[in-house]
Amino acid sequence: MPVGYADTYVNGVRYRVRTVDIRVPEPMLVAVGATYDSTIADTNNLHRRVLIICTFAIGAATFAGWLLAAFAVRPLKQLAEQTRQIDAGDEAPDVEVRGATEAVEIAEALKGLLQRIWNEQDRTKAALASARDFSAVSAHELRTPLTAMRTNLEVLATLDLPDEQRKEVINDVIRTQSRIEATLTALERLAQGELSTSDDHVPVDITELLDRAAHDAMRVYPDLDVSLVPAPTIIIVGLPAGLRLAVDNAIANAVKHGGATRVQLSAVSSREGVEIAIDDDGVGIPEEERAIVFERFSRGSTASVSGSGLGLALVAQQAELHGGTASLEESPLGGVRLLLKLPGVR
């Protein structure tokens, strides 16, 4: 029979024959056959098996895909559900998702975003609360001198006063106006400090800042002896204008309210940071008042009545903005020492 597949009949029975040409060990033809009916039956059985296996494989793949999709989608559904439950008035949300790595990464990114939003919300709430308190206290403090000024102006407008009394009332109005102006200036500086951010911080040479503050103070107060304790260059990251404002206010406070004739500036650097000291030989501040004088519109018993009560509050604010503290203690010069403790370069 020819090589390949062929049909043949043996004793009237149809056979399906496969003929193969074999070359070794000697050329020959080998034919293998089976009845046609059994071959067709085996082929059909094979087809059925293939169909069954394919159907099962497709079903298994579909089920596995469904399970995988459910595993992948479930954490996303959890994330969506937790996100829908977030309310702006609630505390900072705690988004927790377990499952596929990608879903966990999305959840972590969302959690970080929400935390930043809540932090900004807390800062905004604190700023609004501070602004309300600030406005209330400012209005109260300004109302008294404005009322006094109005009374004096009404006296000038309605009464025919002798020249000496008229001059006294006018001087009182001028003093009140100066007090109001000083208060408004201090309020403006406080507001500027509250609006500053970490982006405004730059390297500051404390030694040079104190040297300039000393020279400027001697020009502003000709009778004041201002000295600077020699020190190596000290650099911190901060607000140059704010630090200078703190030092200037400390000097002004010593002169105007402490009656100081001598002021000494010094700065010491350590691993913990920098300590800036402003010593004076004035009347000092009683120990029980040294904490409250840093509050806004708070005046010590030794302060002059013309003060706004914001000088040391500005100093405390700048210390806080730099991550440090401001305090008062006894000075070796006999008056009071204002000590600013600030962190160093981080």
Top pLDDT among 201 and 198 is at 201
The rounded distance, in Å, linking the Cα atoms of 204 and 285 is: 30
Summarize the confidence of residues 263-285 as an average pLDDT.
92
pLDDT beyond 90 at 246:
no
Q: What is the pLDDT of residue 174?
A: 87
Top pLDDT among 303 and 156 is at 156
Across 67-215, where does the E strand assignment appear?
A: 202-205
Least confident of 23-27, 154-158, 304-308: 304-308
What pLDDT digit, counting tens, does each position of 203-212 carry?
999 999 999 9
Q: What is the pLDDT of residue 69?
A: 74
Summarize the confidence of residues 45-49 as an average pLDDT.
92
What pLDDT digit, counting tens, does each position of 299-317 carry?
667 666 555 667 788 888 8
Top pLDDT among 112 and 32 is at 32
pLDDT beyond 60 at 103:
yes
Assign a CATH topology to domain 199-343: Heat Shock Protein 90 (3.30.565)
Query: If one looks up domain 88-195 in CATH, what number appears?
Result: 1.10.287
Residue whose C-alpha is closest to residue 335's, from 245, 243, 264, 267: 264
pLDDT beyond 90 at 107:
no
Q: What is the mean pLDDT of the chain?
A: 81
The rounded distance, in Å, linking the Cα atoms of 21 and 4 is: 9
The backbone torsions φ and ψ at residue 13, rounded to the nearest 5 degrees and listed phi first, read -105, 130
Top pLDDT among 336 and 95 is at 336
Neighbours of 141 (CB within 10 A): 19
Top pLDDT among 186 and 234 is at 234
Token couple for 255 = 């002169």
Each domain of the chain, given as residue ranges in start order, spans: 4-82, 88-195, 199-343
Top pLDDT among 126 and 275 is at 275
Q: What is the pLDDT of residue 48?
A: 92
What pLDDT digit, counting tens, does each position of 56-102 carry?
999 999 998 888 777 767 777 777 776 776 665 556 666 666 666 76
Spacing of C-alpha 85 from chain mean position: 25
Q: What is the pLDDT of residue 74?
A: 73
Overall size of the chain counted in residues: 346
